[in-house]
């Protein structure tokens, strides 16, 4: 099987590449390193089944493949808010380019959407039928509404051109290869904890997130691509929902840090609670995330220490 992974030098993409290569598949990775890192993929360069091309997803490209894993888009507010117009462009035109390629070669597409499409939800946990509660003119809308239009575009291609589309709505994921400076909760807290720097919490810290370990997510993505299912599906770990304050305390303890928690005003449209309902993934994919937060954080902290923070 010949695969194209857009955004393959990123956190999730690099783990997906490892999985596919271990399964003896061929992988083409494209990335422009706007948020991904060459360090994440350099170990694959010597593998004859792997090829890398530096590519802007919004520019046209042509690779003959059978499966496309479309991951390319900055996923952290720290990055997607730097250039919101570019973020919107990536979500629409980047996805359009992927879908045109899929149409040309009759390739399957797995698009990694996001729990952000549910906004600041009025319903918890969120199932795939929930339409969301979003601010379409807010500062985060370039990403959240961008993911929604990319889903819409994907379904139009499925309806009009019979493209085999899979859509994964990914909830908070963590693990090795996270960018220690990407601005997300776990990477921020671990980096600060190791350095004995105060942990920055936005809001009162009582907002919750459900945290899924990367190995579990990759298993879910692979199962989804192999399935015949074509409607959106949540991938996250509802059993691992924690308040931000509790995650901060746990990471301070695990890193044996002298750091303290300091509080800042909450950012606009930041969700207060986010937890996936994954009955659909359980039933249709036989997917059950199994890595608990203690084990997952240990693996992640060990990785961060190895990169000499």
Helix orientation angle between 185-195 and 244-254, rounded to the nearest 10 degrees: 40
Contacts of 196 (CB under 8 A, 6+ apart): 257, 258, 259
Residue 264 appears among annotated catalytic residues: no
Sequence-separated contacts (24+) of 126-131 with Cβ below 8 Å? 126/234, 126/274, 126/275, 126/276, 126/277, 127/234, 127/277, 127/279, 127/280, 128/169, 128/231, 128/232, 128/233, 128/234, 128/277, 128/280
Q: Pick from 222, 86, 200: which is nearest to 143 by CA?
A: 86
| Identified catalytic residue from 79, 80, 118, 143 | 143
Residues with catalytic roles: 143
């Amino acid at each position: 099987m010949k695969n194209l992974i857009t955004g393959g030098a990123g956190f999730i993409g690099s783990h997906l590449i490892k999985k596919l290569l271990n399964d003896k598949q061929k992988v083409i990775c494209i990335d422009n390193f706007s948020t991904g890192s060459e360090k994440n993929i350099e170990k694959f360069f010597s593998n004859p089944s792997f090829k890398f091309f530096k590519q802007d997803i919004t520019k046209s490209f042509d690779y003959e493949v059978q499966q496309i894993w479309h991951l390319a888009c900055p996923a952290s507010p720290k990055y997607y808010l730097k250039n919101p117009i570019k973020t919107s462009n990536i979500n629409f035109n980047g996805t359009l380019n992927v879908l045109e390629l899929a149409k040309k070669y009759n390739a399957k597409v797995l698009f990694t959407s996001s729990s952000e499409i549910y906004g600041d939800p009025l319903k918890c946990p969120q199932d795939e039928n929930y339409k969301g509660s979003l601010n379409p003119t807010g500062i985060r809308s370039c990403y959240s509404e961008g993911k929604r239009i990319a889903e819409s575009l994907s379904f139009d291609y499925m309806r009009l051109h019979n493209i085999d589309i899979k859509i994964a709505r990914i909830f908070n994921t963590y693990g090795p290869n996270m960018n220690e400076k990407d601005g997300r909760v776990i990477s921020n807290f671990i980096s600060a904890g190791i350095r004995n720097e105060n942990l920055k919490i936005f809001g009162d810290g009582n907002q919750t997130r459900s945290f899924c370990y990367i190995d579990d997510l990759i298993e879910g993505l692979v199962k989804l691509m192999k399935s015949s299912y074509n409607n959106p599906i949540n991938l996250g770990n509802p059993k691992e929902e924690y308040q931000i304050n509790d995650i901060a305390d746990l990471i301070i303890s695990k890193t044996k840090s002298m750091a303290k928690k300091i509080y800042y005003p909450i950012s606009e449209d930041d969700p207060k609670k986010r937890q996936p309902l994954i009955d659909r993934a359980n039933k249709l994919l036989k997917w059950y995330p199994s890595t608990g937060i203690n084990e997952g954080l240990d693996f992640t902290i060990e990785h961060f220490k190895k990169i000499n923070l």
